[in-house]
Amino acid sequence: MRTLPLLLHATMALSRTTTNFLNHDLLLKGLEDKNWFEKNIPLLDVPDKEIQEVYYYRWQTYKEHLVYTGAQYGYMASEFLSPVSYGAPYGGIVAAAGHHITEGRWLRDTKYGQDIVNYWLSGPGQFPKPMREEVNKDTSDWAHEYSFWAASALWKQYLATGNRDFIVGQLDNLVKQYRGWDTHYNEYLGLYWQVPVWDATEYTAASYESSDPYHGGAGFRPTINSYQYGDAWAISQIAALRGDSKLESEYRKRAESLQTALQKHLWDNNSKFYKHRARDDNPSGALLGTREIMGYLPWAFNMPSDDSKLIAFTQLTDSQGFSSKYGPTTAERRSKWFMYEAENCCRWDGPSWPFATAQTLTAVENVLNDYPAQNYITSSDYFEMVQRYAKTQYKNGKPYVAEAHHPDTDKWIYDGENHSEDYNHSTFIDNVLAGLIGLRAQADDSIVINPLTPTSWDYFAVENAPYHGHFVTVLWDKTGSHYNQGKGLRVYVDGKVAGSRETIGSIKVQVGSSPTSEPHLINIASNGQRFPQLTTAFASYTSPFDHAMKAIDGIVWRTGIPQNSRWTSYNSPNAEDHFGVDLRREQVVCNMKLFFYDDAGGVRIPSTYDVQYKTGNTWTTIPGQVRSPKPTTSNAETTITFPAISTSQTRVVAPNPGSGVGWGLSELEIWTPAIFHIRNENSGKLMGVEEKSTSNSANIQQFDSSESRNLLWSFVPSPGGWWKLQNLHSGLLLAVEGASTANSVKLQQFEDNGTEDHLWRVESKGDGLFLIWNKNSKKVAGVDGMSTANGASVVQRNVEPTAVMRLRDRRIALFGDSPPPPRQAAPHPEREVIYHCNDRFVVRSGNTITKYTTHPDGMGSNDRPSEAMALQFVKDHTTIPVPEVISSDWDRITMAYVEGQTLKEAWPSLESHQRSEILEQLKDYIAQMRSLKGLYLGRLAGQGVVVPRSDGPFPAMTDFHDWLVRPPKCIEEQSMHWHQITIQLGAEYPTVFTHGDISSRNIIVRDGRIVALLD
């Protein structure tokens, strides 16, 4: 078995086969950035027009709430489109974070969901919060401002993605989050208390019966106790995955204790319902007289074990209970508080809140799937609730969601303009997929399909849902004539039938093992916080309605809302205008993503455009651009890749249509590996390794800025939201001497041995400066004695803001800053050599493979790492699995690794069906490569065709043939054979991308499938 590179990419199972039964263009019609949805979401086809319309609408609103916070924390999911005063740093609100994680688990690209988790459990969510009334006076960090079912949501994410490493890596964070509610625990009752407003439920029946209708009403509630039960149960399951039997037992007992206490203290046997119990001035322990919708939350976490309690669900269909045309209501109609003062925001005493509707639907889904058969709530009742929920999400005949809806009238009552549009405070997609269609995710390598669809439906389909790194398609065709794939219920896994039955009902199929994946790139153009040290936007003209910085704020909102996050040249007096980004220092870049804005009126997608970079004082068109097709809708991603350039500024130039009509951008992005300079704010110097050492235990010091790779650090994602900081010169990790926890101990570099002193986390100080924390010592990196001298030691210390290190936005692209450092033969690292031929080596170090040469000419001519660029190009434009490039330079390339065999090694032992499948994969991969058109013949870095004959690149095929072929001396030019050859070679053929050596030794397979193409 050979250890070889594997692509570490967040999009799951790119090489898996999909089905294509549905009309994708028709289903995605009207969505902005259709290609993103094609690549990321399961397609839905159902007879109910409203359910289907709202399904796709909610995917679009989910996408626009994905905010790129910056290089340090990646994406988070916002609640309101625009930040509010009581939100966490970068604008997050934890109240609906459980919804956000659950909803996003069905995205193919897992980096979004993982980033949201890390934002709350290891990023800004963990930052200190003021303990004031307006942001919850009883808690001290942002992840505890509101109740949050963190572990339960993450467990659901795991069930869909199958990414064991990610969830096990979060275990310590989840335990910390759980114990953060210890201050709210009452040992006598064995229950947690919460104030209704911090359950995200303002002005409830419970708070109205206190002295303070808004901040009052503290009590022992079904909400937080259900969340804590669900989280304790999830933590016990994750602990079992990690093999921690002690922790598993502890949290299983915590869950059981809460289960008993909830039943004992919060079940009202008279009204047959779970209710609020006031914490204060309640010596008798009386329960609230009003039934509230939160009484169903225990079933959303499978908490009740007594099936007789299911009688509570009769209230969902009771006309004096929660039943309503646009419901359910949040308080029962028979309550004296029903719709009390409901004309004013934000009452939870009757209005229909999607937040609660989604949770209630989840509870019903669990009852119908996980509890014994009963007559209190049926699948027909459930379907009617889904229909009402979809019907609620309309305004003026178009899909729409705001904060809360009137229960009986077709009107959103809490719907502030420029505030509540597309409110991201609930699930709907997950209810459709996991509930209605019945994708019941499992912890093993199987999935259960148990649709709750009505018997009147003759057909429905979910196509290419991502699941455990595979694609799952579910078809129901009563007659067999709708999809023409046969009658009945069929389940496909990776394009093949995995199970079927004639009638609607439960079916379990195997899906296979789950690959893992990690996000790895950062957007260096983004500066949503407008930190003064980071990038700035500039333009030749900006409409007074817009702002240039909004086009690099990490946000792309859909066109049809009043808010905007864009730059435009609307009403410009100029014939053409430009928009650009000042990167503030030289960066090496090789790509750009543009999201052109088009409102079909005063701002249109430009007819043409030019992408330029600044070299010296001159603006020059970037050479070698390869562009995706021109967009046809507003906010569709346009990708431009090109040979790497070094520049501090880049811009887009385009003509204005005239008569005041301009062009615009919602966003400009530049993506690179996560490579940083780390600069000390006090000294202004950069962190590097003493004497550029490549040895273990070499000290870390500070130095003046230079182009040395010794001053560059790659941030490698690690479990639990931690980072490993790898020096680009030595390949070793930032560590603490002797793994010490003492103050003033030196930082050193060391090979990856799995110790916690190799793990670091960054904490924003809110001004573009960051602390770098060590996991083991809980101390930050700083300079010994606050020195400003070269060679001063970098040490760990308690927080002293004047001397801590900050992440200076000296981020660089794939190949480091330009120009490269002086050539030196690469040292031979003392690591496992897995390949050696002449002056070329392949060595393994921890989780990486480095291929390097000691030859003075390096890896190729012109000092341009073409292989790294080609790998990145293939990754960006195809679904071909290729090794993830961590870093690259003139003499080396470092990539991730995985266990596997070359096809040459594996072929004799492969079954015939495996051989056929591999050949089909190769056929697809070659077709994908040849579909990529080029502008010249040569390598992607703008070099010649081959090494060492590095002539070119050539603008046309005939130029290439003129260089390549000369009449051999033994063949006269007038020879018939030579004449035929020159005619054939003289023809012009399309210039396409190809692999120069797709031999069996460059194809890596595992489990009978291709997992990587090399070289």
Query: Which tokens hold the place of 180?
Result: 């953060």
**Mean pLDDT value of segment 364-386:** 98
Q: What percent of the chain has pLDDT over 90?
A: 75
In this predicted structure, what is the pLDDT of residue 800?
55
Instruction: Establish if 811 belongs to a structural domain.
Output: no
Q: Is residue 326's pLDDT more than 70?
A: yes
Instruction: Establish if 647 belongs to a structural domain.
Output: yes
- Coil, strand or helix at 62: helix
DSSP state of 929: H
Strands 2-4 and 898-902: antiparallel
With bands split at pLDDT 50, 70 and 90, how would you rate the model's confidence at 1007? confident
Co-location of 723 and 644 in the same domain: no
Query: Which tokens hold the place of 972?
Result: 């006269």
Whether 175 contacts 235, CB under 8 Å: yes
What's the CA gap between 198 and 222, in Å, rounded?
13
Instruction: Establish if 1004 belongs to a structural domain.
Output: no
Instruction: Establish if 906 belongs to a structural domain.
Output: no
Co-location of 686 and 663 in the same domain: no
**Mean pLDDT value of segment 265-271:** 99
With bands split at pLDDT 50, 70 and 90, how would you rate the model's confidence at 889? low
What's the CA gap between 464 and 919, in Å, rounded?
22
Q: What is the pLDDT of residues 937-993, one digit of tens each?
A: 566 544 455 443 445 555 555 555 655 554 444 444 444 444 555 555 555 566 777
Co-location of 243 and 265 in the same domain: yes
Instruction: Establish if 870 belongs to a structural domain.
Output: no
With bands split at pLDDT 50, 70 and 90, how would you rate the model's confidence at 812? very low
In this predicted structure, what is the pLDDT of residue 994?
80
Q: What is the pLDDT of residues 18-34, one digit of tens each?
A: 999 999 999 999 999 99
Co-location of 643 and 700 in the same domain: no
Report the range of poorest mean pLDDT among 215-224, 640-649, 901-910: 901-910
AA letter at 730: S
Report the range of poorest mean pLDDT among 336-340, 361-365, 511-515, 759-763: 511-515
**Residue burial 637-668, b: 16+ Cβ < 10 Å; e: rest:** bbbbbbbbbbbebbbbbbbbbeeebbbbbbbb
The CATH number of whichever domain residue 701 belongs to comes to 2.80.10.50
What's the CA gap between 857 and 357, in Å, rounded?
66
Report the range of poorest mean pLDDT among 390-399, 890-899, 980-989: 980-989
Whether 611 contacts 592, CB under 8 Å: yes
Report the range of poorest mean pLDDT among 21-25, 610-614, 820-824: 820-824
Co-location of 643 and 692 in the same domain: no
Residue whose C-alpha is closest to residue 883's, from 992, 993, 714, 1010: 1010
Co-location of 651 and 704 in the same domain: no
The strand pairing partners of 900, in sequence order, are 2
Report the range of poorest mean pLDDT among 165-169, 684-688, 874-878: 874-878
Co-location of 655 and 682 in the same domain: no
Co-location of 607 and 704 in the same domain: no
The CATH number of whichever domain residue 547 belongs to comes to 2.60.120.260
Counted domains in the chain: 3
Q: What is the pLDDT of residues 427-462, one digit of tens each?
A: 999 999 999 999 999 999 999 999 999 999 999 999
User: Whole-number mean pLDDT of the chain?
Assistant: 89
In this predicted structure, what is the pLDDT of residue 430?
99
Sequence-ordered strand ranges (E) for 289-416: 394-395, 398-399, 404-405, 412-414
Strand 805-806: give its sheet, edge to edge: 700-703, 686-689, 679-680, 805-806
What's the CA gap between 519 and 542, in Å, rounded?
34
- Supply the range of the domain harboring residue 727: 675-806
- End position of a domain, from candidates 415, 436, 457: 436
Residues 6+ positions from 188 with CB-CB distance below 8 Å: none
The more confidently predicted of residues 744 and 987 is: 744
Co-location of 641 and 684 in the same domain: no
**Mean pLDDT value of segment 106-126:** 97
Whether 202 contacts 194, CB under 8 Å: no
Instruction: Establish if 429 belongs to a structural domain.
Output: yes
In this predicted structure, what is the pLDDT of residue 817?
35
Report the range of poorest mean pLDDT among 311-320, 352-361, 539-548, 1000-1009: 1000-1009
Instruction: Establish if 475 belongs to a structural domain.
Output: no
- End position of a domain, from candidates 806, 825, 846: 806
Co-location of 242 and 178 in the same domain: yes
In this predicted structure, what is the pLDDT of residue 504?
97
Q: Is residue 4's pLDDT more than 60?
A: no
The CATH number of whichever domain residue 286 belongs to comes to 1.50.10.10
Residues 6+ positions from 493 with CB-CB distance below 8 Å: 470, 471, 472, 509, 510, 511, 512
In this predicted structure, what is the pLDDT of residue 824?
47
CB atoms < 10 A from the CB of 734, how many? Answer: 26
In this predicted structure, what is the pLDDT of residue 900?
86
Co-location of 648 and 729 in the same domain: no
Q: Is residue 518's pLDDT more than 70?
A: no
The more confidently predicted of residues 290 and 954 is: 290
AA letter at 47: P
The strand pairing partners of 467, in sequence order, are 470
Co-location of 363 and 285 in the same domain: yes
CB atoms < 10 A from the CB of 154, how many? Answer: 31
In this predicted structure, what is the pLDDT of residue 27?
98
The more confidently predicted of residues 135 and 835 is: 135
**Residue burial 106-118, b: 16+ Cβ < 10 Å; e: rest:** bbbbbbbbbbbbb
Instruction: Establish if 56 belongs to a structural domain.
Output: yes
- End position of a domain, from candidates 806, 827, 862: 806
